[in-house]
Chain A
Amino acid sequence: MSNDQLVIAGKAYSSRLLVGTGKYRDFAQTAEALDASGAEIVTVAIRRVNLGQNADEPNLLDFLPKNRYTMLPNTAGCYSADDAVRTLRLARELLDDHRLVKLEVLGDPHTLFPNVRETLKAAEVLVKEGFDVMVYTSDDPIVARELADIGCCAIMPLASLIGSGMGILNPWNLKLIIEEAKVPVLVDAGVGTASDAAIAMELGCDGILMNTAIAAADDPVLMARAMKLAVEAGRAAYRAGRMPKRFYSATPSSPSEGVISARKL
C-alpha cells in the first residue's frame, strides 16, 4: 500500500481522504477529528473578518499545524466566477503564495448544485494565473472532460447534494468520469457514512472529500476514523479487483466432494 499514493499537482499524498473543517463544535474538536481521519489535505473557507468585537477570537489556522496539513482554500458560497476568482486570490495572499485550491461555484442556494458555466469560466482564469485547481462539479462526464482540458488538477464530482449524506446516487456517471479522466477524480459531496466512502473508492475514485459526514456525526472523531478505514478498505478492494458477480448462480465455497453420506433413519 505504501507506494499507492495519490498524486495531485505533482505532490504525492498517502491519504486519499480529504476533509473539511466546517461545522465542528470547536477548533479543538476539529483538530481531533482531522487527526483521526488521517487526512493530509484539509479545506478551509475564506470569509470577511469580524471587525470590532472578538479581537482575541481564536484563529482556525492556529489549530492546523502548517507542516502537517496541506491547506485547500475553497470558494464555498460563491455564485459567480468573478467572486470565486477574487476569493482564491485572497486565499493565495492569506496563505503565502499558496497555489492548491478548491473551486466551487454554486448555482442554487437550496440544492447547492454547481453552476457549471461559471465554474468553467473561473477555472480558465485560475489555471492561467498559476493556481492548481481542484474543481467541484456535477457528475456530467462531458463537463468533467472540459475541466480537465482547461488544466484543472483534479475533478471532483458530487455523489449527491452537498451536506445531504444521501450517498452515491449515480455510480454509473462517476464510473464514466473515472474511466476517461486523465487527472485524479475525487468524490466531493454526498457521502453520509463509511459504506458510501467504500463504494466510491471501489468504483475507482482516487479519493474523497467530505465534511458534514464527519462533523455532523454524533461522534465526529469516531466517524473520522471510520471514514479513514472505509477509504482504505474501498481502495484496497478496488486494487484487489473484485470477483465477478454471478446473478442467480450460487457457487459453493467448500469442496463438493467428500461430504459424508446421508444415513437412513
Chain B
Amino acid sequence: MRARFVASEVWQGLRRNLTMTIALIITIAVSLALFGAGLLVRQQVSQMKGFWFDKVEVSIFLCTKNSQEASCNGPASEEEKAQLAADLEGMRPLVQDVYFETSEEAFTRFQEQFAGSPIADSATPEDLGESYRVKLSDPDQYSVITSAFSGRPGIERVDDQKQVLDKLFRLLDGLQVISMGIAIAMLIVTVLLVGNTMRLAAYSRRRETGIMRLVGASKFYIQLPFLLESVIAALIGAILAVAAIVGIKIMLVDRFLEPSFQFTPFVGWDTVWVVSAILIGIGVLLAALSAVFTLRRYLKV
C-alpha cells in the first residue's frame, strides 16, 4: 500500500471535480444539519416532557357552598374529606404525594395571580374552596384518579393538568415528525448525489482506472481513492453541519430561548455533542456505502 500515491490520487480527484465536490459538501452539510436539528428538537421535547410531567398534578376540588354540580350538596363534609384522604392513601404507589390546599391558601394564591384585577377584590376564601393536589408516579395513569373520584359526593370536579400539556406536546410531536421527514428526504438526496458524483468521477477517470485494471491493480486499490474522496467530502460536510448545530445551541438556545423562557430546561451541551457524533457517523457511513454500491456498478474489474 502506497499511502502517498493514494493521497495524491484523492487530492487530484477532489480538485478535478471541484464544483461537484462543493455541491456534495453543501448538500451533505444541509441535510445533516437538518437531521441534527430534528434530533435536538426530539431531545428537547422529551426533556420537556420529563420536566413537565414530573410537575403535573391532578387536582380534586371539593364542593363549596356555591357549587352547582349534582354531586354537591353544600360544602363537603368532614367524613367525605376523611374518606377521600383514606382512599388516596390506599392508591399508593400510583399516588406519590398528596397535598391538601385549604381555602385560605387557595385564596392567597388567587390574590397573587389576579392582583390588581377586579375579580381578586370580589372573591372570598369560601368561593374558592378546598382541594387535594395529587401527584402521580406515572402521569399517564391520571384516568384512574378521574374515574375513581369524579362524581363522588362532596367532590366538585377532578382536573388534570396533563390534558392541557398533551395538546402542547402533540403540537411539538407534529413539528418533530415534519422536521425528521424533511431530514430523511435530504439524506436520501445525499445518498443519490454521492452515487451520481462517484459515477461522474469514475467516468472522468476511466483512462486511469482502465490502465490500472490492465496492469493488474487490485479492486481495492482502484476503488480506494474514490471511496476516500466521498468519505472526505462527507466528513467536511458533517463538520459544517456540526458547526451549524453548535451555532443553533449558542445563538438560539443559550442567547435567546433560555433567558426568555426560564421556567423550562433546554438541551444541554452533552446532547449537542452526542448529536454531533451521530451526524459525523451517519454522514461518513452513508457516503461510504453509497460510494461502494455505485463503484461496484461502474468500476468493474
Determine if chain A interacts with chain B: no
**Which residues from chain A sit less than 8 Å from chain B, CB to CB?**
none
